[in-house]
Amino acid sequence: MYPQLAIEAAAQSDVGRRRSHNEDSFAALPCLGLFMVADGLGGNAAGEVASRMAIEVVKSCIEEDDDLEDTWPYGMTRPHDRDEVRLVLSVRRANRVIYEASQRQDEMRGMATTFAGVLLGPGMAYIAHVGDSRVYRMRGGQLERLTRDHTLLEELLRDGDGAMAALEALSDRANAVTRALGCDESVAIESRVEATAPGDVFLVCSDGLWGPVSEERIAGVLLAHQELSLAASLLIDLANEHGGPDNVTCVLARLGGG
């Protein structure tokens, strides 16, 4: 593991205004440089189980580290990408654990979860995600989304010609998630690596935040409030003021250093 980085962090989650229980799970672990959100899918509280499993498995894998060595595809990446591979393999393991659990227990069958996570190392941020939970970065007063949603809407938009006609025909399903952990034995995990700078703020959140609250409003809160715990609380409040249609979770991490 790296020497501990100077990272401030805050996190908050809320059930929202229209749900009876919270199926989001999260972790803010400055000691590991690891920040995650998982949004559970599936009835009978199975979504809550899946999201909690995702967070726990990834955390355990990053902590233990050596357990992933045997499956690390050394020939596939450059040495400085090792942490990206480490994070992706941890999420891959979480997918397998959730899928196998759903196959063993009838009451858990069909459970799944989105996942978005950031692993911060010296000078670099390693990002992995599946589904429609998002990672943003605030830098120089600008909020930038670092993930693209795995939803029918975004896939159709990427297809180009004919996309709008298809969207009109499928408007009630446009926001359906097309990828999640636990649905199948394997899943395509999207990842990226970004250089970091002192003062960068990373926001990891479920769709309960970015759905009802515009990116402009999110950026405004982060610009106006340097105290991360207050910013997290205000973002949750904004989501609920806009109807609170879903569970809402946000995790914030700010890099220190000169």
Domain, as residue range, for 46: 7-255
Kindly report, residue by residue over 163-182, the tens digit of the pLDDT. Answer: 555 555 456 666 789 999 99
pLDDT in tens, 188-226: 999 999 999 999 999 999 999 999 999 999 999 999 999
Does some domain include residue 2? no
Q: What is the pLDDT of residue 162?
A: 54
- 150-169 average pLDDT score: 65
Token pair for 249: 């979770």
- 118 and 202 Cβ atoms separated by less than 8 Å: yes
pLDDT at 166: 57
Q: Is residue 211 part of a domain?
A: yes
User: What's 193's domain CATH number?
Assistant: 3.60.40.10
pLDDT at residue 150 tops 90 = yes
The span from the CA of 180 to the CA of 200, in Å, is 28
Q: Is residue 110 part of a domain?
A: yes
Residue 143: strand, helix, or coil: strand
Domains identified in the chain, total number? 1
User: Which of 99-103, 104-108, 212-216 comes out lowest in average pLDDT?
Assistant: 104-108
Average pLDDT of the chain to the nearest whole number: 88
